[in-house]
Structure 1
């Protein structure tokens, strides 16, 4: 997805909120100290790697260090809670994933409300989900896989990176759109699911291209389709679901930037500007390509709409498919 032209324009000089035109007393500029970037997932994953790629570039442009801090647990809500309780001064930010949209429909008794506790800043990157089958599967393409599933209702097992993840939701949508019944097998990460399809213990996986890529490259699995609107550069020969004959299945994992509720619009716009400039760097784009990530860099307004619509869509899917946290 091309970056919006306006996203590449530098934001004007920023003063702290509360400064009015004509105010005589000078206000300190933002940021005035290092910024904490809370990643609510374990280090080393695709979202974390993207954060660690972009944080130094953004920090250079802001004139302050951005410190990546992993706060894991409860599907990302532990890290989310830390940011929800932080002061909205732009010095504590959240780097979240698609669970941000699913958690409100799954987790009960949270100390904050996902709908009101955060300020959307930008959808940074997407990580397209891919459907891959084990190497000795009789399915040579998506149509063949659907036919196979219909001939063995409920017998084919598809591994994902876990319950209520983007992969799980993609499996649910695949079943509904194709009219098939399959067995979902949740793992604790895409790499675990990839390992089992490599060993022939799964019929298929629905995980990120990053997790599935090495297994396919080694000849132990085969791509069928990617759940994106267009083909991804890291796997240009893999058709989209629409190209393979099943339109309507576009569901990616993603990484995005949020601030606490009440983050001043000027700070959100400045963060978006330096993020977009960083995403445009060739070195950053090369690193993201290695992660099978597609750069986005949407504006705060665009991302707010994405979050609002996505939360409603995911709530419906979770309810109708009776998805639960195991």
Structure 2
């Protein structure tokens, strides 16, 4: 197997960052940062104390790493410590509900797709409404998923030919299985969308997380999965998995040597993981505006763009309106699949 190009090798380095980081670490306004001070106008009397970024996933997870990347420069801009706090459980929905109900004007959250879009479409018992109880601040990072398979798979050709692989999947029908980090995740909804548009029929098997999905493929329990680029590239470099195609309209800068599934004739499969900041809807508009402007400035800074890339993300830094539009569009797309396939939380 040929060496991975430098741009891809840098994505693989993201895996080295997954060492556990304890929750509740504060980043002081006096810490050094190369991010310039924000030009946003001051908000009298705010912040009066440290700001909390609540994350619904454990230390060392991708959302946690993103939150900590933003915490230090945000502290410098607002002039108060910024604390990253992990409230783990229910696929991030415990933290999302906590943020939705926060009334202190000093709590925001770092969210994944599902928490801001389809949470209550999958599970009617989810106690918050993403569209009503949370206010978008900015979309900070996007990443396509990579259709991945074992290097040698019975009844499927070796190599990266997506058309041949999908042909084999169609012939296999429900004899094949695919793995995801759980019901209602982007990997789950995305694969169901791919099934609807390609005629393949693998059976869904949920796991605790993406690393366990990759291990199940290595052990022969799964024949395919949509994985984040950093994990997929690391497994390809080790010679354990092969990369079939990315869920994007074109090639991604995160995986430039991997063809898009659109190139294999899969229509309208522009599917991405994303991370975004949002605040309680009850937070005053002027405070939300100041936070949004600061987070956008940080996301667009060269230093943070580089850090995000090395973690497997393309940095964005959208306006709140841009994030709101993305939430609306993704909710409509994934909501249709949820309805058509009658997907419900188990």
TM-score tier after normalising by the smaller chain length: 0.7 to 0.9
Give the aligned CA root-mean-square deviation in angstroms.
1.9
Residue 316 of structure 2 corresponds to residue 296 of structure 1: yes
Aligned to 2:276: 256
Post-superposition Cα deviations, 1:68-113, rounded to whole Å, max 9, x if no partner, equal 1111112222111211111162x10011111221211122233332
TM-score of the pair, normalised by structure 2: 0.83
Q: Which runs of 5+ in 1 are unaligned?
A: 1-7, 16-26
> Measured at CA, do residues 307 and 88 of structure 1 come closer, stay the same or move farther in structure 2, by a change above 3 Å?
farther
**Is the CA contact (8 Å cut-off) linking 2:123 and 2:344 kept in structure 1?**
no
1:9–1:321 CA distance, 2 compared to 1 (3 A): farther
- Closer, same or farther: CA 66–9 of 1 in aligned 2, 3 Å: closer
1:273-292 matches, cutoff 5 A: 273-292=293-312
The within-5 A match list for 1:54-93 is 54-87=70-103, 89=105, 91-93=106-108
Q: Distance in 2 between matches of 1:216 and 1:161?
A: 20
Residue of structure 1 aligned with 2:212, choices 163, 170, 192:
192
Any idea what SS the aligned residue of 2:149 has?
strand
Please state how far the C-alpha of 1:130 moved relative to its aligned partner: 0.7
Q: Give me the whole-angstrom Cα distance separating, in 2, the residues matched to 1:309 and 1:217.
A: 35
Misfit runs of 4+, over 4 Å: 8-11
Within a 5 Å distance, the mapping from 1:107-256 to structure 2 comes to 107-137=123-153, 138-139=156-157, 140=159, 141-256=161-276
Is the counterpart of residue 96 in structure 1 residue 116 in structure 2? no
Instruction: Provide the C-alpha distance between the structure 2 equivalents of 1:231 and 1:263, rounded to a whole number of angstroms.
Output: 39
Greater Cα offset, 80-89 or 181-190: 80-89
- Find the aligned partners of 2:178 and 2:225 in 1 and give their Cα distance: 5
* Residue 14 of structure 1 pairs with residue 42 of structure 2: yes
Closer/same/farther in 2, CA of residues 11 and 308 from structure 1, 3 Å limit? farther
The count of aligned residue pairs is: 306
Contact 1:134 1:221 in 2 (8 A): yes
CA distance in 1, matches of 2:309, 2:220: 28
TM-score with structure 1 length normalisation? Answer: 0.88
Q: Secondary structure at the match of 2:145?
A: strand
Paired residue secondary structure (2:225)? strand
- 1:132 and 1:223 in contact (8 A); partners too: yes
Q: Structure 2 CA distance, aligned partners of 1:287 and 1:262?
A: 32
What is the CA distance between 1:127 and its match in structure 2?
A: 2.6
